[in-house]
Structure 1
Amino acid sequence: MISIIIPAHNERQNLSKLLPSLQTKTRKAGVEIIVALSCDNADNSENLTTGLSNLKFIKCEGKGRAVQMNTGASLASGTVLVFLHADVKPPESFLEDIECTLDKNYEAGFFSYRFDKRSFWLDINASFTAKDGIFTGGGDQCLFIKRDAFNALGGFDENQVLMEDFEFFKRMKKNKIAYKIIKNDLIVSARKYESNSYLRVNLSNLLLVLLFKVGLSSEKLKTIHNRLLKMPYQHNA
């Protein structure tokens, strides 16, 4: 079974688009969808009418995306865990791509992506997601991983209040978890770029990744992030 885990905080609008799009992709037996809502989610996302029989909403006790994803994983039935952001739309062959990759003896993987608004500069950004590099492992790339490997790594670090995805990927590499980047684009929201300039987002992202790599604490990273960027949505960490 494949378990798709979606951490969400006041994401009703995006979930109302994503969940129906998953319907045709998850009709096959052996796929479940778990939406892990933050403890202070306040938009009644759990009351969305979707028609999906393989969907369940859970309310998490703690705060932060790492907590949400770990909670979803702990309640999942699947032998494969897929962590998908609420504002990311997967390609049609999403599940087949995952199964094919894992059948080739990879233990985990990510997807390349492009933005939902096209521009020369955004296309340049997206092009980097199709290959290994400094930004590999970010949550927008949609991590999928065998449950055994996820458990062996101890799940996400719940003390990592920002960049929990990069921290997890760092441990994946350290433990030599075999992974592949699938070159079949997810569609990712450009909303952060719409609320900030292209240059500001890119310089901020580069700075945060570099500071993370030299060991700055997640609390300080979060403070810097909030000072540098205006967010179009309320972050839950």
Structure 2
Amino acid sequence: MDAVSIIVITLNEEKRIGRLMEDLSKQTHKEFEVILVDSNSDDATCEVAQAFEESLPHLVVHKMDTRGVSLGRNTGAALAKHERLLFLDADVRLERNFLAKALSELEDRQLEVAGVYMGAAGLPLVHKLGYGLFNLGLFVTQFVFPTAVGACIFSTRRVHQQLGGFDQEIVLCEDCDYVKRASKTWRFRFLKLTFGFDPRRLDQDGVFKMGTTYLKANVRRFFFGEMRNNEMEYKFGHYQ
């Protein structure tokens, strides 16, 4: 199986980054590096991550002076050593065989770019309902107007370079724009896998508000194109 460059973007994630680092250290597939790109956190995010240097020997912690989701992902991709890329958010949780299963499916289906569904195991019913509706939307749109969850996206260096990376002018739905542009050249599909997704977004905004926000954003994108002027205000790191 391919070696993977795992790019994790962070901003004030000292309470969650350790859980992801622990999950990565326990993966059954061991051929990977972790590139943590921090957006100048005010807390101990970098220090918590660096404590895993022994269990993650190919760990790189890179601290930026400025903040930005797309900037962080593009910075990490530029530092990557391997062809296969995996972009993750800091609040993601992964099962021990996640990488092994994902790489096998990517190879079998010959996918260079792929999304992963959100898992809701162990969460309250309202969260399972919310994630279920989001996943349904992801499944349907992948065939006609691809969208994705930026918290877990597979790509390759070739694709990333030819796309020019994530569009740094887009604040909301930069992940959807990335896979939509990629799908024009490469077949994009969702893997038959899920990743653990911290429910803080639903807890803070509520299912209805969060669902409405992304529905409005994607309807707007479908009819009028990408939002490069912060038409729908969205601030990186606003979740508590």
State the TM-score, normalized to the length of structure 2: 0.84
Quote how far apart the aligned CAs of 1:222 are: 4.4
Partner of 1:32: 33
Partner of 1:17: 19
Q: Distance in 1 between matches of 2:35 and 2:195?
A: 19
Partner of 1:200: 209
Cα 1:132/1:96, change in 2 over 3 Å: farther
Checking the alignment, whether the CA contact within 8 Å between 1:108 and 1:179 is kept in structure 2 is yes
Deviation readout 1:182-233 (Å, 9 max, x if unpaired) = 222211011011112321221122112222332253333342x46xxx9433
Q: Secondary structure at the match of 1:181?
A: strand
Q: Distance in 2 between matches of 1:116 and 1:79?
A: 31
Farther off after superposition, 8-17 or 60-69: 60-69
Checking the alignment, whether the CA contact within 8 Å between 2:5 and 2:85 is kept in structure 1 is yes
Q: Secondary structure at the match of 2:135?
A: helix
Farther off after superposition, 56-65 or 72-81: 56-65
Deviation readout 1:108-155 (Å, 9 max, x if unpaired) = 212112236623343233234262426731213x11112212212111
Could you tell me which of 120, 126, 132 is aligned with 2:125?
A: 120
Partner of 1:183: 192
Could you tell me which of 205, 209, 213 is aligned with 2:218?
A: 209
Cα 1:68/1:222, change in 2 over 3 Å: farther
Q: Secondary structure at the match of 1:138?
A: coil
Q: Aligned ranges for residues 1-237 of structure 1 at < 5 Å? A: 1-25=3-27, 28=30, 30-38=31-39, 40-48=40-48, 49-50=51-52, 51=54, 52-104=56-108, 105-115=110-120, 118-127=123-132, 128-129=134-135, 131-133=139-141, 136-140=147-151, 142-175=152-185, 177-213=186-222, 214-215=224-225, 217-223=227-233, 225=234, 231-233=238-240
Give the unaligned 5+ runs of structure 2.
none
Quote how far apart the aligned CAs of 1:181 are: 1.2
Cα 1:27/1:120, change in 2 over 3 Å: closer
Checking the alignment, whether the CA contact within 8 Å between 1:18 and 1:87 is kept in structure 2 is yes
Checking the alignment, whether the CA contact within 8 Å between 2:146 and 2:179 is kept in structure 1 is no
Give the unaligned 5+ runs of structure 1.
none
Amino acid at match of 1:110: G
Identity, in percent, stands at 24
Q: Distance in 1 between matches of 2:29 and 2:238?
A: 35
Q: Distance in 1 between matches of 2:94 and 2:190?
A: 14
Deviation readout 1:141-174 (Å, 9 max, x if unpaired) = x111122122121111112222210111120122
Number of residue equivalences: 225
Checking the alignment, whether the CA contact within 8 Å between 1:129 and 1:135 is kept in structure 2 is no
